[in-house]
Structure 1
Amino acid sequence: MEPDFSQNSAPGALAGIKVLDLSRVLAGPWCTQLLADLGADVVKIERPGVGDDTRHWGPPFLRDAGGQATEQASYYTACNRNKRSVTLDITRTRAQQLLRDFAATADVLVENFKVGGLARYGLDYDSLKALNPRLIYCSITGFGQDGPYARRAGYDLMVQAACGLMDITGQPDGAPGGGPLKAGVAVVDLFTGLYASNAILAALHARERSGLGQHIDTALLDVGVAMLANQAAGFLATGESPGRAGNVHPSLAPYQDFATRDARVLLAIGNDGQFARFCQAAGQPAWAQDERFATNTARVRNRAELLALLQPLMRTRTSDEWIALLQDKAVPCGPINTVARAFADPQVRHRGLRVDLPRQAPGDAVPVVSTVASPLRLSRTPVRYHGAPPVLGQHTDEVLAEWGVGPAERASLRAEGAI
């Protein structure tokens, strides 16, 4: 049975936290969506008439009630749920003052402008800190606030290449399809959003003791290097750069995909006990006693010999037969799903990882927007899904009214193009 999120009315863990979101594309919006999911009031500032860049990054596009494609790119919906969209032209003096007024009472501001880009508008950290010493100001850039690359624009693909991630991803040189390869999603952006949200939560906790906010400097390059994890640790220990190995794990064996009778299957054996149980189930118990394969270190060192035995064995059964054989033996083995098959998977459906959110905005042709559920499961202060990714400027009047801007002033702001 799929969870019914619509009945969840408990206040979120971050209820009462006000966030001003001046970010766009993915890393910043991913960070602020996480805060919004946890209950923060996130006000997303977008350019009038244009909005976040990702509103136009299509196809694919959202579909209307009749199944026809609209001009709204689905990319935007991946990272802007539970936010309120306000259109403000920050190059306009009156819009800048509105943002300063809101920042004076906000808890968090997230931005991903180029280094120094907001200083000209009086929206940089030093300017806003003077108005609100409690403000937590998170800057997300490609290369950080200082250093020789600080003023360079940084995108996920560039950083995947620069940090070494692409050089360890893909098939080895000389193999079919060999060469550096990017990940299938913008993983550096996503990790950066997660690191940024963690830093913000830490800063909120620190503020409880000190009463003061702080500036958070988050860089895609820093994150890209950090997420190399064991691969970076291996280099630091040996001085040797790791190479590409396709789907083979550099430190575990067998831990990769295998061709079966009908498709491919993933075998992810992480310890000697699992290997022994696999060998027993596969009818080859002697392999687990062979000194070449008895330990993981031995299996890694003798990987070629092990694969010469495993590859023909794995072709004797279908993928489903291998999965059925091993699933009750505590031997990790599973399918390599398409995205469509993943969403149809019984466990994915049970966990409610697809969330359909109604959206009612004047003139909008899209009645429901489907998003992926947050993986955060808090027992007392659970995630709430109270707002679909908004139409551009959907909440401008609502939010400006809360900021004390009356109808006449809003009309004047519209007339001059400030909102």
Structure 2
Amino acid sequence: MVDPGTAPVHAWIDASAGVAGDMLLGALLDVGADRDAVQRHIDAVLPGSVRISAGPVTRAGLRATKADVDVLVDDPPHRTWRDIRARLVGADLPAAVRDPALAVFARLAEAEGRVHGIPADRVHFHEVGALDSIADVVGTCAALHDLGVDVAGGGVTAGVVAVGSGRTSAAHGDLPVPVPAVAELSAGWQVRAGGQGELATPTGMALVTALARTCTGLPPMSVQGTGIGAGTRDTPGRPNVVRVVLGVPQTGGVPTDDGERTVVLEANVDDLDPRLWPGVLAALLRAGALDAWLTPMLMKKGRPAHTVSVLGRPDRAPALRDELFRQTTTIGIRQADWQRFALPRAFVAVQLDHGVVAVKIAHRNGEIVRATPEFDDVAAVAERSGRPVATVLAEAVTAASAAGLRPGEPVPAGATAERPR
């Protein structure tokens, strides 16, 4: 178990077999969330109405925890999103539980509103808004809080969601799978059929897409525990479960023989003043991009445009998307997972006649592969000394070589990962 007082905690949701609210809650209880603490938060919203129970089951031979919500009142009323929002806002809940629960139900209401063509506030929840689903949402948010996961800080990610196929019966009749609300909630997420029947419920899909910051494979982390939550059906040969992997994230990325996991964000822009692009790229780098670049291209009808591309680590993707929307006129961004294979880098300062220049070296197996003076440092020295940039650059190259910063030479002991200032 991770001690939330000493380390950040990340939760990755594996919904590759589908997802429902009770399945996700079961997985979090299985990995160690305190059931009594979860019950107290649910009671703050639904006093005396439901009771949470959990116990071991098997699904296709795999051990899991089945969470059940026992409704303690007769004939609970249907509720609108406005009613549910008022209950959540008025309940004695910490913000770390209340705010994500509100976000989940807001997504549900918006999706149902689009499906039925009515404003979100007027949506009457049936399957989605029953007491057990309210308990699933609040319980899941409470369990994450109990485990020390900072949802608002991007502490949750999730993988591809299996949504199912075929048809199913619901309050509105015979519906295709994924049901319309799940299809709406899937916008911007990676999904697959994954099997027959309804594998993802609206509550489950809303929890994943509202709580998880990005759709990604298992991120680099020091794993502390795995929880497995069971669905109601036991399908032979196909475990009907959701997994949650809990651990301490390795935010810097882990270069291995398989490369470092990165994401690339791209947008096509044809209506931005070209004089703004240097500032846009600089802003993206300040926001944490590993690299950012422009590619000239032609859009439909022959309009000249640029594709702006941003390379970053998965944990920086939300901030980089926000910066792209803020700095450019784009109304849509595409994102893809990439593997980056990069040589380790280090810096060594060399002294010139009129100042200091940092030399960036790329190395492998302890030997220098490439050594390049930082151009910004060269330009700054040239400006201060009143000498041509080309002259200072040539001096920097010579000084680097004289200091032993040449391909094939060993990495010097004074090299540091941080650029000298």
Quickly name the TM-score band, shorter chain normalised: under 0.3
TM-score normalised to structure 2 length:
0.20
Compare the two structures and name the one with the higher strand fraction.
2
Instruction: Tell me which protein shows more helix as a share of its residues.
Output: 1
- The structure, 1 or 2, with the larger RCO (C-alpha pairs under 8 Å, 6+ apart) is 1
After TM superposition, the score normalised by the length of structure 1 is 0.20
Max radius of gyration: which structure? 2
